[in-house]
Amino acid sequence: MELPKQLGTFSVTSDGFFNDDRNLRSYKPVADRGRLDLDKGYDAKFVDYKDEEDDGDLDNILKWIKSQDPNVLAGVEFVTRRAILTKVMRGQWWKLAVTKFNGIWYISTTAVHEQKTGKQPSAEKQKGDKRKLYWGHKFEQYMTGCADSPEGEPNTVDLNEGFYTVVKYKLKSHSLLFSAEVDAIGETGSYVEFKTFAIPQKKDVDQEVNTKFKNCWVQSYLAGVDEIVFGIRRDDKAKGVVTESQTRKITDGKAEYDSDWKSYADRCDKFLSEVKDYVKEDNASIVYLYQHGQKPYKEPKARPFLTVLTADDEQ
């Protein structure tokens, strides 16, 4: 398993993209934090996504690429996001968009938002999902010592904020460049990610954490993350309260789940090879759509998603 190589970082806020590390936080390990109320401040200190339709795009990594020396793309064959890459590895994607431009294949989900059909989740479910997103970000604040102001007031949770690493990675014969959001930097200078989830009282904590770790260590490994801290919600009557936490090292996952990694890598290798074979036209305005069980096809109605790169050329 080749190690990922970080080429740079960037931050995103409600005000936009910033080519710096202003949103990088430091993990502050504490032996016993007690009960952590993840719901604290939800009603008054929650800033939702500005535009959820842009949640799957490549705009931010494209802005980072544009701010760099052109040689940053030397040898790169694919540009995407870690979230997309891990879905491909697990076979969990349902539709993706691909454009080839200047010899590089860009993989996105933006162009397929308008293609979505079917029953939409209820308002109640959407509200519950937003609350869980808030809990996850609040847990990050607790782990980095910025959950509350010095006066004890809960700090704002802004879903638009994030810190990202830009990684170059060689997967078999394919060279990839992708962005990945990471939560904090540890005492040794390595990245740390935070996860929070509920474990019913009847379930064994260690076993459940190990299962969760197995399901998410690949995405952390791809971003060069060193460890994952799991916040455990154990009290059924207080669903937004973390009662304990456990840490797992990514190096342990590499040793234990080597066979899983091989299957993930093989699946991704097959997909990337098919993209190379099928998407031949080198044109930023041409979008191909990929869907499970169907042949990829050129979609004339899909909006191009590389405008950040091509804006100067179009003027």
Q: 179: how many CB neighbours lie within 10 A of its CB?
A: 25
Contact status, residue 67 vs residue 16, Cβ threshold 8 Å: no
Letter for the amino acid at 309?
Answer: L
> What pLDDT, on the 0 to 100 scale, is given for residue 83?
94
The fraction of the chain above a pLDDT of 90, given in percent, is 70
Length of the chain: 315
Per-residue tokens: 208: 């459940």
Residue with the bigger pLDDT between 146 and 54: it is: 146
pLDDT at 241 over 80: yes
Contact status, residue 106 vs residue 306, Cβ threshold 8 Å: yes
pLDDT at 315 over 50: no
Sort strands 244-249 and 225-233 into parallel, antiparallel or unpaired.
Answer: antiparallel
Report CA Rg, the chain. Answer: 20
Q: Is 132 exposed, middle or buried (0-12, 13-18, 19+ CB in 10 A)?
A: middle
Average pLDDT for residues 286-314, to the nearest whole number?
87
- Tally of domains in the chain: 1
Q: 135: how many CB neighbours lie within 10 A of its CB?
A: 26
Tell me which residue range forms the domain holding 234: 5-314
* Neighbouring-strand partners of residue 176: 78, 169
Query: Residues 181-235: pLDDT tens digits?
Result: 999 999 999 999 999 999 988 899 999 999 999 989 999 999 999 999 999 998 7
pLDDT at 254 over 80: no
- Helix, strand, coil percentages (3-state) for the chain, rounded to 5, are 35, 30, 40
Q: Report CA-CA distances (Å) from 212 to 173, 209, 290.
A: 30, 5, 29
Question: By C-alpha distance, which of 247, 248, 244 is closest to 256?
Answer: 248
Query: Residues 106-122: pLDDT tens digits?
Result: 999 876 754 454 555 66
Question: By C-alpha distance, which of 151, 106, 43, 168 is closest to 302?
Answer: 106
